[in-house]
Structure 1
Amino acid sequence: MSLHIRQKKNSSGTISIQIIDRTHRQYKVVETIACVKNDDEKRIYLEIAQKRLEELNKELYPTLFDTIKDDDKQNNLEFISLANRDVTPIGDELIYGKIFKYLGCDKIALDFQKMQLFKSLVISRILYPGSKLYLIDYLEYFKKEKIDKNRIYRFLDTIYQEEIKQQIEQCVFEHTKKIMQGAITVTFYDVTTLYFESESEDDLRRIGFSKEGKLARPQILLGLFTTLEGHPLSFELYEGNKYEGHTLVDILQKFQTRFHLKNKPIVVADRGMLTHANIAFLENNGYKYILAYKIKNIDNNLKERIANLTFLDNGTIHTIEIEKEIPYKDENDKKQILHIKQKLILSYSTKRAKKDKRTREKALEKIKAKLSKKNITKSDLKLSYYAKYLDIDDKCNIKYKLNPDRVMQDERLDGIKGFATNDFTLSANDVIAHYQNQYDVEKAFRISKTDLRIRPIYHRIEERIKAHVLISFVSYAVYKEFERRLKLGNVKFNFSQKLLRDIIKHMFALNVKGKFYTLSFDEIQQKVYDAINT
């Protein structure tokens, strides 16, 4: 609705003073103030009409007039002529820009213009995930700032320097350390694959095993260290065909060296990190660890020992102490044997048991279908879950048949999950609680890859790829701090984070001759603002 005062000449020679609504080029009389015959009457009733117009506008747009002081209003007509171009979105700076500064990311060694562009790229990844070139249109339309796309590309080509990366990680680490009361006692490490909308490989982008099922797509590996609550600490990028288990030692060494930790944290990692080389490194370098255990892939003696335990219902926990020798290669690539002691924590879940059963039944359906049509060969076993249920018969050609004993043994382990640790001071419940917090980290990857759209990646130049991930890392740090502050302020909403971001986008200021006036927030916007600024 757009209200105006109109003076309409009548055929009788009088003038009707009206308040009209001019919307979509159509006119509608809202109220007729008077019908005047001369200039003196017209002057009196125009003043009355202007006061009435102000009252109506206050009813329609109460936040506008609550915020702008009377002495800033030269006349009502000036405000009536305001257009959309006079309204500027400020939620990006008011909320996420504030957090960016609070994290200390504005202190890194960039000049003013580059810092502004870096911050804009970080915030736009949260509010407007997608193409970085969208930022050009956004800044020009909403902020009246023009920026050339080549400037963005040149910036991406130079921002990822090891010194800049370390400064950013340092400010994020120090912030995380601060909110953890000065001590990083437990860290979680996980790896994900980020694929590219391109089929060409290079030194960094390599075709490898994709967790997303993107076959024959070049990818990179992203290794991320966080607290158990999901607050980011550090990250590294690896070539896409590298085995994820081989990244732990590298990133842990860099992490320890970079931040000079006095006390080494407990390292919590998924079962992909449960390699002899990783365990040997952790043991030999004084790290305590909690690693997910592949219960159904352990040696038969331990399987039998676990299968003989009683798991009656949800929450049943058993602890087994084990000793074993593991082979590994030292720094000089010489074969070594390490004797280790571990505590194996076993927990049971009926929900997990049902899932295990469904997975096995589907696998058996597939294998029986194959066996009914032909002999299964090695080519049928690539990445096949059901391979462990088969026996080899190599009297003539290589053939396979179903082994019912293996199926039964697998069934006895349904619903059981294991966690191996070398920290005997932790209780079973502590071990499980520490590991279960991994879901916050997995949520981190979901946020990075979906909400922030860290993937797929369309860049081809290595420096731009690394810059893309660096920007996403800072965006995630800002996002996590945003979540933390809402939680501290007990601010909860029964709708999606996406809608909440849209509400933040609709925090506006009014530009009146170069002076900006913040429009009053609605209830939700005010709660968010208060949570960020307390």
Structure 2
Amino acid sequence: MAVTRDGIPVRCWCWPGNTADQKLIRQVKDDMRDWTLSKIVWVTGRGFSSERNRRYLRQGDHQYIIGEKLRSGSAEVKAALSRQGRYQDVAGNMRIKEVRISDTERFVICHNPEAAERDAHMREQLIAQLNELIDGTDSLSEFKRGELRGKIAGKPGRNRYLRTTPAGKLRIDTAKAEAEAEAEENLDGKYLLRCSDPHLSAEDIALGNKQLLEVERGWRDMKQIIDLRPVYHRLEERTLTSQNIPA
């Protein structure tokens, strides 16, 4: 979706579900070239953050704002999180801090205190749910415990806190839970943005990315709250795009 600085949609695209990211980036860039706009800033999620994608997005004097994976373990992410500095309060309940770790790109750490509380609560809830699942399982047969163990294995969030004793009993891995909580506390409510534009303020970078979050939230609301389910079209002429919607 292409939007103005104020978030007003001006164009949209759609593709088959198996379309590669690189292909759709190239098509959108080519389509927008005909508009002769003075400035385009691409805002993408973490799935587009490869060096190849970033290089392509900068062609034609375009700029980008891209989310980075905090748990990627990359040297840049580690350097950004280790930098000291004071957060600045911006719109809503968001706090931002720009960190300098590159001569060609800018990095902005965004922190949402409410989201941090939710992240911590989610970990506590996962452990509580797991504890409820395995409570009283010592009296079950080995087969029944193994069956339950298999079901929990299909839930990665809960499974990472589960351990099995040498006797086959199911227990909470408290040492792992405490160590993870301590490590995750520094990441709760945070996300990292990478930007190539040397002129945007740190606040504009954060707010530009927030537009993307609002679009994604809108899709989730339609699918969950409004309960609009996907409609699968298998014929090209039945797929609505910005090119064939009647005026």
User: What interval of TM-score do these two structures reach, taking the shorter chain for normalisation?
Assistant: 0.5 to 0.7
The answer for the alignment partner of 2:12 in structure 1 is 235
The answer for the alignment partner of 2:206 in structure 1 is 432
AA at the equivalent of 1:355: R
The answer for the alignment partner of 1:101 in structure 2 is none
| C-alpha separation in 2, matches of 1:387 and 1:264 | 47
Per-residue CA deviations over 1:238-285 (Å, capped at 9, x if unaligned) read 222345x4454233333234x252544111123333233322322455
Gaps of 5+ in 1: 1-223, 324-339, 392-400, 476-534
| C-alpha separation in 2, matches of 1:419 and 1:430 | 12
Q: Contact 1:389–1:407 (CA<8 Å) still a contact in 2?
A: no
| C-alpha separation in 2, matches of 1:388 and 1:341 | 38
Of the candidates 261, 271, 279, which is equivalent to residue 46 of structure 2?
Answer: 271
Per-residue CA deviations over 1:74-97 (Å, capped at 9, x if unaligned) read xxxxxxxxxxxxxxxxxxxxxxxx
Q: Contact 1:293–1:418 (CA<8 Å) still a contact in 2?
A: yes
- The answer to whether structure 1 residue 380 and structure 2 residue 153 are counterparts is yes
- The answer to whether structure 1 residue 254 and structure 2 residue 30 are counterparts is yes
The answer for the alignment partner of 2:107 in structure 1 is 344
Q: Contact 1:228–1:441 (CA<8 Å) still a contact in 2?
A: no
Following superposition of structure 1 onto structure 2, how do residues 31-180 of structure 1 map, counting pairs within 5 Å? none
Q: Contact 2:43–2:65 (CA<8 Å) still a contact in 1?
A: yes
Per-residue CA deviations over 1:105-130 (Å, capped at 9, x if unaligned) read xxxxxxxxxxxxxxxxxxxxxxxxxx
The answer for the alignment partner of 2:81 in structure 1 is 306
| C-alpha separation in 2, matches of 1:341 and 1:376 | 49
The answer for the alignment partner of 2:169 in structure 1 is none
Deviation at 1:347, TM superposition (A): 2.3
Following superposition of structure 1 onto structure 2, how do residues 458-473 of structure 1 map, counting pairs within 5 Å? 460-464=234-238, 466-467=239-240
Deviation at 1:414, TM superposition (A): 1.3
The answer for the alignment partner of 1:170 in structure 2 is none
Deviation at 1:358, TM superposition (A): 1.9
Q: Contact 2:94–2:113 (CA<8 Å) still a contact in 1?
A: no
Deviation at 1:462, TM superposition (A): 3.4
Per-residue CA deviations over 1:293-325 (Å, capped at 9, x if unaligned) read 3324443774475267467885543211234xx
TM-score, normalised relative to structure 2 = 0.65
Of the candidates 338, 341, 359, which is equivalent to residue 122 of structure 2?
Answer: 359
AA at the equivalent of 1:322: I
- Specify the SS of the correspondent of 2:30: helix
Deviation at 1:420, TM superposition (A): 1.2
Q: Contact 2:109–2:192 (CA<8 Å) still a contact in 1?
A: yes
AA at the equivalent of 1:432: A
TM-score, normalised relative to structure 1 = 0.34
Cα distance change of structure 1 residues 300 and 237 upon mapping to structure 2, 3 Å threshold: same
Per-residue CA deviations over 1:327-364 (Å, capped at 9, x if unaligned) read xxxxxxxxxxxxx8321111222111111112222344
| C-alpha separation in 1, matches of 2:19 and 2:80 | 35
| C-alpha separation in 1, matches of 2:68 and 2:193 | 5
Of the candidates 59, 70, 84, which is equivalent to residue 295 of structure 1?
Answer: 70
Cα distance change of structure 1 residues 361 and 450 upon mapping to structure 2, 3 Å threshold: closer
Deviation at 1:413, TM superposition (A): 1.6
Q: Contact 1:322–1:341 (CA<8 Å) still a contact in 2?
A: no
Of the candidates 195, 200, 206, which is equivalent to residue 421 of structure 1?
Answer: 195
Q: Contact 2:96–2:206 (CA<8 Å) still a contact in 1?
A: no
Per-residue CA deviations over 1:475-499 (Å, capped at 9, x if unaligned) read 9xxxxxxxxxxxxxxxxxxxxxxxx
Higher relative contact order (CA 8 A, sep 6+): 2
| C-alpha separation in 2, matches of 1:405 and 1:301 | 23
AA at the equivalent of 1:251: Q
Deviation at 1:471, TM superposition (A): 9.8
Per-residue CA deviations over 1:21-41 (Å, capped at 9, x if unaligned) read xxxxxxxxxxxxxxxxxxxxx
- Specify the SS of the correspondent of 2:105: strand
| C-alpha separation in 1, matches of 2:61 and 2:243 | 33
| C-alpha separation in 2, matches of 1:452 and 1:473 | 24
Cα distance change of structure 1 residues 448 and 406 upon mapping to structure 2, 3 Å threshold: closer
Gaps of 5+ in 2: 138-144, 164-172
Deviation at 1:289, TM superposition (A): 0.5
- The answer to whether structure 1 residue 226 and structure 2 residue 3 are counterparts is yes
- Specify the SS of the correspondent of 1:255: helix
AA at the equivalent of 1:231: I
| C-alpha separation in 2, matches of 1:453 and 1:356 | 25
The answer for the alignment partner of 1:321 in structure 2 is 100
| C-alpha separation in 2, matches of 1:307 and 1:363 | 28
- RMSD of Structure 2 on Structure 1 (CA): 4.6
Number of matched pairs: 223
Deviation at 1:432, TM superposition (A): 1.4
* Structure of larger gyration radius: 1
Determine which structure has the larger strand proportion and give its number.
Answer: 1
Q: Contact 1:228–1:438 (CA<8 Å) still a contact in 2?
A: no
| C-alpha separation in 2, matches of 1:411 and 1:438 | 25
